[in-house]
């Protein structure tokens, strides 16, 4: 028996963490106290791809990278001090900093999600929670978004990882698909193509940083139809699709805020830092720079916040 990839023995071992989580939930429900539940860290300012839909390039500036000792200080002073449960490592491409990945996994065993485009060989980390591998459609659409042969390279790296690490290694592989106007017709293709090689899949929608972004899927009948199809697929594969129905229903309409200002979105629930260890605003795809572009909250499609709103947590 597993719950979100965590076995009974692991859950028992993590009981102190769940105590902190439950205390935070109770504090929010009873007293309106807002304390971060999760963490997100952009551990590198470099990426080997330049994807057409990626928010990260919009605000990227040339800066130095932090050392492992710098990150250890951030872990202690920000993430551990706030008793965050799960840490998501992002970039850029975070697998280009294996030294920092190893540090986070050592400090948060079985609690680190590593977001990657999968085009670099996947290293086996004994105590990783899982790899979050970005897949943006079938081979043709994925390559259109991420570059020539990106899909083939990612698939080879995943198959090599499973072959090298045994039949249960697929449990380390979770797929994330960001739905946009280019790939929305390929959801079933992605499901069918990756289910044999992955443990879970999660869906979210492209979040624009400017009005009129051609990749954004507007609210309306087409978007509602897409979400209803995912809900139907979830009924067929309840152990594979991680999005709860409450979250999917929420994504049929605007839920996060007005303009670029979060209102109902519980941005406080995820402590997000950039590659310099600075806290990002207004959320995990925002920036620490005051003059940066900001995501349009009223058109947000992020899964990490909408799932919390679906469970009744708001900003």
Both structure tokens of 282: 């207004």
Helix, strand, or coil (residue 87): strand
- Please determine, for residue 130, whether its predicted confidence score (pLDDT) is greater than 80: yes
Contact 313, 266 (CB under 8 A): yes
Under 8 Å between Cβ of 300 and 267: no
Question: How many Å is the maximal CA-CA distance in the chain?
Answer: 52
pLDDT at 272: 98
Instruction: Answer with the residue of higher pLDDT: 48 or 142.
Output: 142
Average pLDDT over residues 43-59: 68
- Determine the distance from the C-alpha atom of residue 25 to the mean position of all C-alpha atoms in its chain, rounded to a whole number: 21
The chain-wide mean pLDDT, for the chain, equals 92
Compute the 3-state secondary structure of the chain and give helix, strand, coil in percent, each to the nearest 5. 40, 15, 45
pTM for this entry: 0.92
Q: What CATH architecture is 17-310?
A: Alpha-Beta Barrel (3.20)
Domain-by-domain residue ranges, the chain? 17-310
Residue 4 pLDDT greater than 70, yes or no: no
Q: Which two tokens stand for residue 298?
A: 């009223």
How long a stretch of residues is the chain? 315
């Amino acid at each position: 028996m597993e719950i979100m990839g965590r076995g009974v023995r692991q859950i028992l071992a993590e009981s102190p963490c769940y105590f902190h989580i439950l205390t935070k939930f109770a504090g929010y429900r009873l007293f309106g106290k807002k304390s971060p539940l999760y963490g997100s860290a952009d551990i590198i300012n470099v990426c080997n791809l330049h994807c057409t839909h990626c928010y990260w390039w919009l605000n990227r500036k040339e800066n130095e990278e932090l050392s492992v000792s710098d990150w250890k200080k951030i872990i202690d002073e920000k993430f551990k001090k706030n008793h965050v449960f799960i840490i998501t490592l992002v970039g850029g491409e975070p697998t280009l900093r294996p030294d920092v990945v190893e540090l986070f996994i050592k400090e948060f065993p079985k609690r680190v999600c590593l977001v990657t485009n999968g085009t670099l060989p996947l290293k086996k980390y004994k105590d990783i929670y899982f790899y979050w591998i970005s897949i943006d459609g079938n081979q043709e659409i994925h390559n259109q978004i991420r570059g020539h042969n990106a899909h083939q390279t990612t698939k080879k790296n995943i198959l090599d990882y499973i072959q090298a690490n045994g039949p249960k290694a697929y449990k380390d592989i979770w797929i994330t698909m960001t739905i946009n106007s280019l790939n929305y017709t390929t959801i079933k293709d992605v499901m069918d193509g990756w289910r044999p090689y992955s443990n879970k899949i999660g869906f979210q929608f492209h979040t624009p940083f400017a009005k009129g972004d051609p990749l954004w899927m507007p609210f309306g009948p087409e978007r509602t139809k897409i979400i209803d199809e995912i809900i139907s697929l979830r009924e067929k594969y309840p152990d594979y699709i991680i999005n709860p129905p409450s979250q999917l229903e929420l994504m049929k309409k605007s839920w996060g805020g007005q303009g670029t200002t979060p209102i109902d979105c519980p941005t406080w629930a995820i402590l997000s830092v950039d590659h310099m260890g600075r806290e990002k605003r207004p959320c995990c795809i925002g920036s620490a720079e005051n003059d940066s572009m900001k995501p349009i909250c009223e058109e947000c499609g992020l899964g990490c916040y909408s799932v919390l709103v679906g469970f009744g947590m708001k900003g």
